[in-house]
Amino acid sequence: MILIKRLTGVIGLDQPIATLTKIIRVTILINLLMVASELFTEFYTGGSHVSAAKYLFFGLHGKTALVPWTWTAIGLNITAALLFLWSGILSERWRPLLITACTMAFVGTWIEKGMGLIIPGFIPSTLHEIVEYVPSQLEWKVTVGIWAFGLMIFTIAIKTALPTLKRPIH
């Protein structure tokens, strides 16, 4: 919405931006609570089922491919949450900081839910071997195709909605 407001000159988007910011304030805190509860339940109980979480957060038997990604995601989410909790972030003066916080929350959640949710479920394997996952070229192409399709749908939706948003209010 901020980008639409800046590029097209549509007015009247301040209230929806404020509402979405309030929603993100709550949801990012819920996300951090869920991460903390996941950490607590995984590491408090111990046992053999903790190996996937150990691999994700600290590495396992010298294999540490996802450790920097995991801690980067947690750092981005915590920093974004702190920025969203600051009441001044809604003012026009701090709009670039709001954009930064939104980007940090998006990237942090994307890393956490993408790489941190799917891949550790397969480590260690059923034979108790640790094989670090690297996406193939085909998987990267599928990912790019999915993003391209999503951006195309978004572009069509924006082109449809902009004439309505630019219409003067009577």
Q: What is the pLDDT of residues 71-100, one digit of tens each?
A: 999 999 999 999 999 887 777 777 788 889
Report whether the peptide linkage leading into residue 168 is cis, meaning its omega lies within 30 degrees of zero.
Answer: no
26 and 87 inside one domain:
yes
93 and 167 inside one domain:
no
Q: How far apart are CA 66 and CA 51, in angstroms?
A: 13
Could you list the residue range(s) of the whole structural domain that residue 27 is in?
2-132
pLDDT per position as a tens digit, 19-56: 888 999 999 999 999 989 988 888 887 776 787 788 88
pLDDT at 64 over 60: yes
Cα distances (angstroms) measured from residue 30 to each of 26, 27, 37: 6, 5, 10
51 and 12 inside one domain:
yes
Q: How far apart are CA 105 and CA 88, in angstroms?
A: 18
Instruction: Provide the percentage of residues in the chain whose pLDDT is more than 90.
Output: 32
pLDDT at 3 over 80: no
Torsion of CA 49, 52, 57, 58, to 10 degrees: 90
162 and 85 inside one domain:
no
pLDDT at 106: 92
